Structure 1
Amino acid sequence: MEPIKLNEMDSVRVIGVTVTDSLRNILEKGFVRDMHSTMRYRMTELESRTDDGVYLIQIYPKDEAFTPDIPYENIVGVSVTTDQHIPEGMIEYTIPAGRYAQFLHRGPESNIHQTYDGITEWLRMQYCDPSREIDIEYWDDRYKGESEDSEIDLYVPLQK
């Protein structure tokens, strides 16, 4: 799997909702799907959003090998300007500026693990170490859940 492009990204201020749990629980209990619905419903509270796309930011533990049973943080939110206040029950996170590889997942969201497997293999071939502290998904109007026509942009930071 090859990235669509490699690019320098500016930092992005995101306000949204968060949960920390294992991948196994997140998938079984549908946490991210529920968080996405919550953000779509509460998006009007964020008057200073920069667009209508939704980010999923996955922040992994720094000192542990990732497995489906290791808890990690998931943030689902939208990008906002610096003057946006943080509504009750939401948090703020800044996606770090840096060099990212952008990939595209096409097809049902339930198959996204195949895209992540391809990303991990590409990182292993390019950088030897496929580990990373963060993965970012961006869902805009191309996101259609389980449809074959669905598209999700994925961003992974590149080590310097």
Structure 2
Amino acid sequence: MEPTVLSREETNVIGFTFTANVTEDFEQKHSASTTEALRARKSEIHNQVGKGEYLIQIYPDKDGFDAAVDPFTTLIGVAVSSLTDVPEGMVSHTIPAGTFAKVTHKGPETNLGETYDFLYGSWLCESGYDYAGFDFEYWDERYKPDQENNEIDIYVPLFK
């Protein structure tokens, strides 16, 4: 598994948000219920671009941050061409343009932590890059969370 370093243009996203750590999310199924809520109301979101979904994780600027213990903000949504019409109860967010490391996680979502550990624990430390306090996943037709043939693209913003 070797990340690709690439440039991305700005992406506008509309969806739902929650704050929790990874342990709370897993135990209380925040991501699953938020994804269900998004899919139930997706037709209310105008100007959608593409069919995929984004899971954006915004981490606090905290020394020794540990996602298993420390809460962070998660937004699950869809890309849009304009943020002018945000449905009630939803939020908007812009993923800034920039340089990103992209890696594709392959296998059940329950093994996703191994891919994040590799990205943040090994590759990022050796790459000479720093990260910008958030990352995101892109889910498309390959997203089959409980199956062996599941694939999730993970993007980590980079700077020198």
> Same fold judged by TM-score > 0.5?
yes
Structure 1 gaps, min length 5: none
Q: Amino acid of the residue matched to residue 153 of structure 2?
A: D
Rounded to whole Å, the distance in 2 between the matches of 1:105 and 1:135 is 14
Residue 40 of structure 2: aligned partner? 41
Normalising by structure 2, we get a TM-score of: 0.93
Structure 2 gaps, min length 5: none
State yes or no: 1:13 paired with 2:12: yes
**Map 1:1-160 → 2, pairs under 5 A:** 1-3=1-3, 5-67=4-66, 68-82=68-82, 84-120=84-120, 121-127=122-128, 132-160=132-160
Taking a change above 3 Å as real, the CA distance of residues 15 and 137 of structure 1, as seen in their structure-2 partners, is same
Rounded to whole Å, the distance in 2 between the matches of 1:103 and 1:112 is 11
Contact 1:135 1:154 (8 Å CA) reproduced = yes
Q: Amino acid of the residue matched to residue 93 of structure 1?
A: H
Name the stretch that deviates more: 40-49 or 111-120. Answer: 40-49
Q: Amino acid of the residue matched to residue 105 of structure 2?
A: H
Query: What CA deviation, in whole Å up to 9, does each residue of 1:13-58 have, x standing for no partner?
Result: 0000000112211111110111111111211111310011110000
Contact 2:58 2:73 (8 Å CA) reproduced = yes
Rounded to whole Å, the distance in 2 between the matches of 1:11 and 1:65 is 29
Q: Which runs of 4+ in 1 moved over 3 A?
A: none
Aligned-residue sequence identity (percent) comes to 40
Rounded to whole Å, the distance in 1 between the matches of 2:78 and 2:146 is 22
Rounded to whole Å, the distance in 2 between the matches of 1:80 and 1:20 is 23
Q: Secondary structure at 1:62's aligned position in 2?
A: coil
Aligned residues: 158
